[in-house]
Amino acid sequence: MKIAINTAYYIGSAKVEEVTVLIGEMKAYVLIFNNELSPSQLRNIGGKLELDHRKIEIKIAELEKELERIGNERQTQRKRRNKAALPSVALVGYTNAGKSSIMNGMVEIFKKAGAKKVFEKDMLFAE
């Protein structure tokens, strides 16, 4: 099976995507081809890699912002819990062991304004 070479990039567009990911992971700054590329191929590959590199950097920045926001939110929640001096409780058990039923029963007994019941149904996995 012969693979057609994309004349715009010299390599196929899927390979360009693969190389872009590898460059990002390895923080490479040099890309070597075992053949001489035309000036347009050099521009196309540099442009494509640079564009993908920018997209990746933007996505990383967005994810870092989101992670920081979540971290701040969790820290605020942790401070509230510590300030209220309420004990932490974990309800664990096997599937269909009655965890939701116990939780809903506790909500009924200790009714607080705004307390919500959890989904409860006898099934292997909730849908």
pLDDT tens for 18-42 read: 888 888 888 887 888 888 888 888 8
Amino acid at the residue 11: I
- pLDDT digits over 56-92, tens only? 889 999 999 999 999 999 999 889 888 888 777 888 9
In this structure, is the dihedral angle defined by the CA atoms of residues 122, 127, 125 and 87, taken in order, positive or negative?
Answer: negative
10 and 58 co-located in one domain: yes
56 and 26 co-located in one domain: yes
Query: Quick check: pTM over 0.75?
Result: no
68 and 94 co-located in one domain: no
82 and 64 co-located in one domain: yes
19 and 63 co-located in one domain: yes
Asked if the structure places residue 115 within a domain, the reply is: yes
| Structure confidence at residue 71 (pLDDT) | 95
- pLDDT digits over 43-58, tens only? 887 777 777 778 888 9
Q: How would you label 7-40 residue by residue, b for 16+ Cβ within 10 Å and e otherwise? A: eebbbeeeebeebbeebeeeeeeeeeeeeeeeee
Domain that holds residue 106: 89-119
> Are 106 and 89 contacting, i.e. CB atoms less than 8 angstroms apart?
no
17 and 57 co-located in one domain: yes
Rounded-to-integer distance, Cα 44 and Cα 115, Å: 58
Q: Residue 110: is its pLDDT beyond 60?
A: yes
Asked if the structure places residue 125 within a domain, the reply is: no
17 and 48 co-located in one domain: yes
32 and 76 co-located in one domain: yes
Number of structural domains, the chain? 2
Rounded-to-integer distance, Cα 118 and Cα 37, Å: 62
Q: Residue 127: is its pLDDT beyond 70?
A: no
| Structure confidence at residue 14 (pLDDT) | 81
97 and 74 co-located in one domain: no
